[in-house]
């Protein structure tokens, strides 16, 4: 069975996010008001062949631990759906 | 009214994605099988004060056009919800 997986990797709370801060500082000069708490992260999408949804989730989470995220400074959130179904 | 906005910026189809290709090539050596079509993008989350949902979406999309995404090589997808409601 094929799954579409989306992994969102963001900095842990308390970890500096210079890209987000830079965006936030740039906004008033562009005329945008009322935007705050800008945080920038990474998103990884892939297709995964797995037996069932539990297996797909387990594989995706191991993938995060071993390759996609650095658990010292980042958290990873996995969401998945059978391929072909939009999130 | 406060909205939680999530913007996902990914390369347009046909634009090279070296980070995704590198992840995909690394996976077999780590023992992961059945993973394909890896694409890496950027995710920007922020809080936005706006009159209603239409206004929040319009502001977010203008923000993408003017700052967050480069429309020549990237597409941006906005999803938003009233603050406090999980996506």
Q: Which domains does chain B have, with CATH numbers?
A: 2-82 (3.30.1280.10)
Q: Give CA angle at B82 (B80, B86), nearest 5°.
A: 75
Q: Is the pLDDT of residue B20 over 80?
A: yes
pLDDT of residue A83: 86
> How many other C-beta atoms are found inside a 10 Å radius of the C-beta of residue B19?
15
Closest approach of chain B CAs to the CA of A59, in angstroms?
Answer: 8
Walk along chain A (87 residues) in steps of 10 and give the mean pLDDT of each run.
95 94 94 94 96 95 95 95 75
Task: Answer whether A46 sits within 8 Å of B26, measured CB to CB.
Answer: no
**What is the pLDDT confidence band of residue B84, given thresholds at 50, 70 and 90?**
confident
**What is the pLDDT confidence band of residue B9, given thresholds at 50, 70 and 90?**
very high
Interface residues of B toward A, Cβ cutoff 8 Å, are 8, 10, 20, 23-24, 26-27, 30, 32-50, 59, 62-63, 66-68
pLDDT of residue A86: 54
Task: Answer whether A38 sits within 8 Å of B50, measured CB to CB.
Answer: no
pLDDT of residue A48: 96
**What is the pLDDT confidence band of residue B86, given thresholds at 50, 70 and 90?**
low
Nearest to B3 by CA among B56, B61, B54: B56
Given a contact cutoff of 8 angstroms between Cβ atoms, the answer to whether B9 and B41 are in contact is: yes
Q: Is the pLDDT of residue B41 over 70?
A: yes
Total residue count of chain A as it appears in this document: 87
- What is the ipTM metric for this complex? 0.87
Stretch B74-83: mean pLDDT, rounded? 94
Least CB–CB distance from B59: residue in A32, A47, A48: A32
Task: Answer whether B23 sits within 8 Å of A44, measured CB to CB.
Answer: yes
């Amino acid at each position: 069975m094929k799954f579409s997986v989306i992994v969102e990797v963001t900095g842990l709370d308390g970890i500096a996010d210079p890209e987000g801060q830079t965006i936030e500082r740039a906004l008033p000069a562009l005329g945008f008001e009322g935007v705050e708490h800008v945080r920038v992260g990474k998103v990884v999408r892939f297709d995964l062949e797995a037996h069932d949804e539990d297996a797909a989730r387990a594989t995706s989470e191991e993938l995060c631990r071993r390759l996609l995220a650095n658990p010292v400074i980042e958290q990873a959130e996995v969401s998945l759906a059978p391929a072909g179904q939009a999130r």
